[in-house]
Structure 1
């Protein structure tokens, strides 16, 4: 199991370029494989502290 990706890393991956469907699916799969329920809860708590506009795409990937 990989460590939970930090929020800055997620933001960077999302902003690197417009995500193609393939890249979006790969990032979504990475999140699904590398996070436990406890890590997802922690990540969700971090995301909720930030403006929704900044985290919209990340939340979309997490909550699919």
Structure 2
């Protein structure tokens, strides 16, 4: 059974949302190791840029795999 576009989007959003939260936590821990100590708002903005890229990638790959299934 093929996954609908809506379910693909829901899966992608969920996956990326969890990834965003994990990325923010990771940045807060890892960035200071490299001498980079951005404010929380900066960490969230950096994470948001990657979130947008990741969401697009995740959705497009899911649709590609569904097309060739």
- TM above 0.5, yes or no, is no
The structure with the larger Rg is 2
Higher helix share: 2
Using the size of structure 2 for normalisation, the TM-score is 0.30
Using the size of structure 1 for normalisation, the TM-score is 0.32
